[in-house]
Structure 1
């Protein structure tokens, strides 16, 4: 049976207050609350800056043992071509404390990272230096990389996995013969408020569901990760729950919990 991890691209969104998080929940408790409803999330903040060790340790302690993270790799590694070795060493050392709960690392390249000999060398050098037992998920944002013969030189579908990206202007590629798939439902950057569903993405969702249906019949496929970004439809917790429901995967109804919290608050107000 194919294992499916479904979650959101991040958890620290103030727009979720009152819609996913209880209205008065402090940001320091967001992750532990999120982990009551989902068993997986993506960490995007590590792309911009290295968190201090106390922050990483808090992530570890805020979630149960079976919770999993994918960690977006620091942009000093992907976007700069100088001192890759040193940047990788520092990054992996900082993440080491979280390793027991890390599913893999997301290696995301910018749109201007086109398929050239120099860029290919940069990519393979990074992969060589990422000495971790965890999977490396490689995401391209330029279509010149999507040549199966080229991809087969560094994608093995288990340790190094191609990301299937649903983002404006990018072709969503599903390579054959991968045992692990990583699907990122990103959307575009037009939406700026993230507290409700604001657009129809049924065609894409149906395509992903058909893929999952077909993989259930393929014994070589072991695991699928599905990440919803707020930009995809406007409110990724609802996306993730609806997708779990459609797959027949058990889920917790966060709306019911919010209703209970509101009733509790109203009851307390009666005594003021």
Structure 2
């Protein structure tokens, strides 16, 4: 078994996971409690679309076990709407980080996903990027920040060296826009996101067995250079992310319970759950 590798999905609350992943009839409020029996980490996708309320974040803390971790996707109001322009996002970053304080001990990474229109070739974008990193380093743990680019202009040695000097992790992506560059810029943390290659929507894609097998070897190479590796599958349509995440765990000899058996242990129609007896 590979030590230091955590595998999960981007989010857990999807209606189309009822059946393929969760037992039919399972309430949304119970989905996280089911999810934690499969995986030990999850990437919070909802935090990208809005800043969750404090009581919601506190409830996540109560529902997960001590060894469970989260990665948190930074609010799009900062990254996509303001495009890191400090004049536009103002105090949003401080508000965002303060909101997540109850979850802080369980957060291993904050994902800064930049939009496809955010280009290094545009001078103001590069300035905003550097200014954001400087602000982050002054106020928050640099070792927890992960940067996901979506424009090819950022794929150069200058940027990778800059991230290395600041101790900030580069997000390796599996998607149509960028090549999967296995660059390690933080020796304590590497981060991989599997988006997919769907024709109309990236995420509507099931990675084939051979694709996962090939990535197993790449993950092993990454794990030799980084103490911790967070891997998340974002191809959430129809529960594909769960299927592929469990498949990768099998290839890496990371133990997990049987999804089919977990579903059989839980009967939401009768209000019964025997998950704990199985585990």
Deviations 1:87-120 (A, max 9, x none): 1111101111110111110000010001132111
Secondary structure, aligned partner of 2:100: helix
Q: Report how far residue 62 of structure 1 moved.
A: 1.2
Q: What is the aligned partner in structure 1 of residue 233 from structure 2?
A: 228
After superposition, residues 154-233 of structure 1 pair within 5 angstroms as 154-156=163-165, 159-176=167-184, 178-179=186-187, 180-188=189-197, 190=199, 199-202=206-209, 204-215=211-222, 218=224, 220-230=225-235
Deviations 1:21-70 (A, max 9, x none): 12121101111211111100011111111111011111111111111111
Could you list the runs of 5+ residues in structure 2 that have no partner in the other structure?
A: 271-279
Match of 1:249 among 254, 272, 276: 254
Paired with 2:163 and 2:72, the residues of 1 have a C-alpha distance of 20
Match of 1:110 among 106, 115, 122: 115
Bigger mean CA offset, 104-113 vs 235-244? 235-244
Q: Report how far residue 200 of structure 1 moved.
A: 4.6
Paired with 1:166 and 1:147, the residues of 2 have a C-alpha distance of 18
Paired with 1:215 and 1:150, the residues of 2 have a C-alpha distance of 19
Alpha carbons 2:116, 2:151 under 8 Å: kept:
yes
Paired with 1:113 and 1:23, the residues of 2 have a C-alpha distance of 41
1:199–1:237 CA distance, 2 compared to 1 (3 A): closer
Match of 2:154 among 125, 135, 145: 145
Alpha carbons 2:182, 2:222 under 8 Å: kept:
no
1:176–1:90 CA distance, 2 compared to 1 (3 A): closer
Paired with 2:58 and 2:184, the residues of 1 have a C-alpha distance of 37
1:150–1:198 CA distance, 2 compared to 1 (3 A): closer
Could you list the runs of 5+ residues in structure 1 that have no partner in the other structure?
A: 266-272
Secondary structure, aligned partner of 1:154: helix
Q: Report how far residue 257 of structure 1 moved.
A: 2.1
2:26 is the counterpart of 1:25? yes
Q: What is the aligned partner in structure 2 of residue 129 from structure 1?
A: 135
Q: Report how far residue 224 of structure 1 moved.
A: 1.0
Q: Report how far residue 132 of structure 1 moved.
A: 2.1
Q: TM-score, normalised by structure 2?
A: 0.84
Q: TM-score, normalised by structure 1?
A: 0.86
Alpha carbons 2:146, 2:191 under 8 Å: kept:
yes
Q: Report how far residue 154 of structure 1 moved.
A: 2.9
Q: What is the aligned partner in structure 1 of residue 59 from structure 2?
A: 58
Q: What is the aligned partner in structure 2 of residue 41 from structure 1?
A: 42
Q: Report how far residue 76 of structure 1 moved.
A: 1.6
1:198–1:111 CA distance, 2 compared to 1 (3 A): closer
Paired with 1:241 and 1:37, the residues of 2 have a C-alpha distance of 8
Q: Report how far residue 19 of structure 1 moved.
A: 2.1
Alpha carbons 1:85, 1:129 under 8 Å: kept:
no
